[in-house]
Amino acid sequence: MERDLPKGDLPVLILAVLADAPRHGYAIAREIEQRSGHSLSMREGSLYPALRILEQDGAVTCEWVHMPTGPARKVYRLTDAGTTELRRRASAWKEYAAVIENMIGGIGDAEPA
């Protein structure tokens, strides 16, 4: 089941990927897809605007890195403010997921009568 990622969920996933290591945009997109077991489809058309906003907010910084082969790439790195934002968003997401789990509970787990 491959799905497009909802726009509002993208920033926390970008921050989580960058918490592990700096990456260029294409690598961020592929890492999100890989971590989701290829259930999420990551499009660069959504990724780059989200990266721009995170950069404007001070959560990420970027620099052009010249590659030994091929063109230079813009590499994004998590800032201290980004780490704080990741913790805040992850906590909010976990609380939200717990509320939804409480609402739906075991629906769908039982065999129909």
DSSP the chain: --EEPPGGGHHHHHHHHHHH--EEHHHHHHHHHHHTTT-EE--HHHHHHHHHHHHHTTSEEEEEE--SSS--EEEEEE-HHHHHHHHHHHHHHHHHHHHHHHHHTTTTTSPP-
What is the pTM (predicted TM-score) of this model? Answer: 0.82
Q: How high is the pLDDT of residue 8?
A: 76
Question: What pLDDT, on a 0 to 100 scale, did the predictor assign at position 1?
Answer: 44
One of 3.40.50.10540, 1.20.1740.10, 1.10.260.40, 1.10.10.10 is the CATH number of 3-103, namely 1.10.10.10
- Identify the pLDDT of residue 46: 85
Specify the pLDDT at position 96: 87
Give pLDDT < 50 ranges for the chain. 1
